[in-house]
């Protein structure tokens, strides 16, 4: 898997979450719980994520016995994250003039692409706690860049309910039985119209840097 800035920020956030759980001093809590839902298979939490591209973040903690993949003695949580790819341009606008000019050129080129992807959905599992030696395990389950703008009045109008649909699957179905590609396309067509089609590439664009 190629790691771009979106993935890099996610992994950094996971590390801060686990360090905070371990009791290490942090500048600020890495997340706040906005909503907690108890499902048949575990606890689903809607949380904040202190990253500029973050739109929606869920953490699912399976009950003991409802997990098919356990690394060593550490159970894993499932993280499902929605990020807005274009938010990167807002960060680049704060760069020096030369870098900003290069960014503007790239932005202009993307604006002429009618099917440019707007959001990234990532589903991955990570250790629930950091081990004694400070290490942890992560595994990317699914990731895709998609155009979720539709004809909405604001940026995330359709992306948020699509994300909510996907997160709620975790309460009822084992992670290894969920076909994420099928479920994402089904939810996208529900909110964006039956004629919606993904602008699919082999893997998320790593040119965002």
> Of 204 and 120, which is predicted with more confidence?
120
pLDDT at 24 over 80: no
First-residue to last-residue Cα distance in the chain: 16
Q: Which are the contacts of 132, defined by CB distance < 8 A and separation ≥ 6?
A: none
User: What confidence category does residue 47 fall into, taking pLDDT thresholds of 50, 70 and 90?
Assistant: very high
Strand positions, DSSP E, the chain:
33-38, 42-47, 54-62, 76-84, 119-127, 138-146
Q: Which are the contacts of 61, defined by CB distance < 8 A and separation ≥ 6?
A: 42, 43, 45, 75, 77, 128
Helices 180-192 and 159-172 cross at an angle (nearest 10°) of 140
3-state secondary structure (DSSP) of residue 83: strand
pLDDT attached to residue 26: 64
> How many Å apart are CA 156 and CA 83, to the nearest integer?
10
pLDDT attached to residue 108: 41
Q: For 21-30, 98-107, 109-118, 145-154, which range has the lowest pLDDT when averaged over its residues?
A: 98-107
> How many Å apart are CA 64 and CA 87, to the nearest integer?
38
Q: Could you tell me the CA-to-CA distances from 106 to 88, 113, 131, 134, 175 in Å, in that order?
A: 12, 11, 42, 39, 38
pLDDT at 74 over 60: no
**Total residue length of the chain:** 209
pLDDT attached to residue 43: 93
Other CB atoms within 10 A of residue 75 CB: 18
pLDDT at 2 over 80: no
pLDDT tens-digit series, residues 87-108:
555 555 555 555 444 444 444 4
pLDDT at 209 over 60: no
Mean pLDDT computed over every residue of the chain: 76
> Of 208 and 17, which is predicted with more confidence?
17
pLDDT attached to residue 56: 94
> How many Å apart are CA 48 and CA 134, to the nearest integer?
24
What's the whole-model pTM score? Answer: 0.74
């Amino acid at each position: 898997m190629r790691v771009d800035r979106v993935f890099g920020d996610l992994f950094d956030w996971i590390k801060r979450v686990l360090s905070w759980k371990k009791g290490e001093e942090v500048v600020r809590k890495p997340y706040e719980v906005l909503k907690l839902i108890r499902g048949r298979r575990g606890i689903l939490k809607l949380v904040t994520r202190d990253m500029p591209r973050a739109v929606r973040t869920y953490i699912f903690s399976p009950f003991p016995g409802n997990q098919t993949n356990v690394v060593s003695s550490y159970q894993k949580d499932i993280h499902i994250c929605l990020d807005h790819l274009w938010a990167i341009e807002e960060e680049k606008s704060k760069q020096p003039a030369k870098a900003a000019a290069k960014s503007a050129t790239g932005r202009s080129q993307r604006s002429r692409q009618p099917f440019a992807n707007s959001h990234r959905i990532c589903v991955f599992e990570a250790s629930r706690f950091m081990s004694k030696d400070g290490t942890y395990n992560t595994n990317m389950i699914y990731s895709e860049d998609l155009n979720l703008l539709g004809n909405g009045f604001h940026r995330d109008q359709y992306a948020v309910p699509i994300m909510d649909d996907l997160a709620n699957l975790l309460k009822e179905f084992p992670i290894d039985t969920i076909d994420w590609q099928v479920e994402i396309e089904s939810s996208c067509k529900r909110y964006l119209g039956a004629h919606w089609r993904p602008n699919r590439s082999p893997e998320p664009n790593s040119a965002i840097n």
